[in-house]
Amino acid sequence: MKKLLLFVFVGLFCFACTSNNNGCAGESCENSGVEPGETPGEEPGGNPGEEPPPPPPPANKLSVNGPNLMKNGEKFVLRGMSLYWYEGPWGGQQPGNSFYTEATVMALANPDTWGANLVRAAIGNVKQDPGVALSVAKNMMDWAKNAGIYVIIDNHSHIAHRPGHAEAANNFFREVSSYAKEKGYTHVIYEIYNEPVCDWDKTETNCTNAERTSWETIKSFSVGVINTIRGNDPDGIILVGTPNFSANIQVAASDPIAGHNLMYVLHYYAGTHMGYQTRFKEAYCANFPIFISEWGTPASSGTGTINVENNNSWMSLVESAGVSWANWSLVTAKETSAALASMDVNGPTTESGTMVKTWIRELNAGRSTSGVVPTGVCN
């Protein structure tokens, strides 16, 4: 009788195990890794054999849609300062080098002072001293991450397409994008060619219009560097320089590079380049993605007086379009375009610096500011 009762008890216990929703029994129920209410081979919350949805993108990840820079599905505008050339093409003192510090980046990001959401690192020694250039780029990426802002790593060259320079640019951006991948950074923007100017056999900037570097040459160079970056950063924003000091965006707009998250550079100086507004409007209104990675308040020489009316006109147009920008430059050099009146980033500013600092802080805070008024872009 005891044997019979034991047999019945064991049979009922096994029936209960095999009848639960997991389809497992005994010890295998405990070790199956299947939660109650699921069947083996089924992903939680999905159908059998269905891949789980991809994780959402990082909160600060940017993309390009038509002419617009996007963040979290919304149009997004970056406004900030470009640092001066790090190791520019002259010997002796380098006026920009002293501002490549974490304190500078933190000061720019402070909403009570500058309020920038972008800093541009204009690195000029990619070929001459690649180890130092890479070190500066890594530091700027780290400091911008700590400050919670975006950073443009700019190959600040006029001849990046030339032999030796092109190889250096590829190596530089391979290492920069590899570091971004290693650190999981999504706040890095790659500017692969600051201002293309002169073709093969001329000095950096002394050439006629007929001797300017063509879009075909720039495009060929750019495709190679873009492919290099995409090997490490498939979706990062890449800025492509355009002919004649990054001014002739219309030729790039007629023959763009295939790919995604690419934007094309327009540089202007308000004292010289009012005529560029027409090409800006035409390109933007044709859904061509523009990024103004460098602009200045005076003439293109960086000197002379500041025409306030010209500056207001340009900024009203750029802001009405919602195009991102970086001003040239955060430095104390003896140029009208220099923003600082002393070595203290939080200290006195020049006429140019006062104008631009106010615009950055107020516009990034969503406030209206003097001189910037809505204007027609595509009408």
Q: Count Cβ atoms within 10 A of the Cβ of residue 133 and give its class: 0-12 exposed, 13-18 middle, 19 or more buried.
A: buried
Strand-strand pairing, 118-123 and 325-330: unpaired
What angle in degrees, to the nearest 10, is found between the helix axes of 102-109 and 130-147?
40
Residue 212 φ then ψ, to 5°: -65, 150
Question: How many Å apart are CA 74 and CA 2, to the nearest integer?
Answer: 74
Which residue bears the tokens 């996007």?
70
Question: How many Å apart are CA 299 and CA 303, to the nearest integer?
Answer: 6
Which residues are part of the catalytic machinery? 195, 294
Quickly list H helices, the chain: 2-19, 26-31, 102-109, 130-147, 165-183, 215-230, 243-246, 249-253, 276-285, 308-321, 351-364
Question: How many Å apart are CA 261 and CA 258, to the nearest integer?
Answer: 10
The secondary structure of the chain in percent helix, strand, coil, rounded to multiples of 5, reads 35, 15, 50
Q: Are 249 and 193 in contact (CB under 8 A)?
A: no
Q: Are 248 and 276 in contact (CB under 8 A)?
A: no
Residue 12 φ then ψ, to 5°: -65, -40
Written as one letter, the residue type at 304 is G
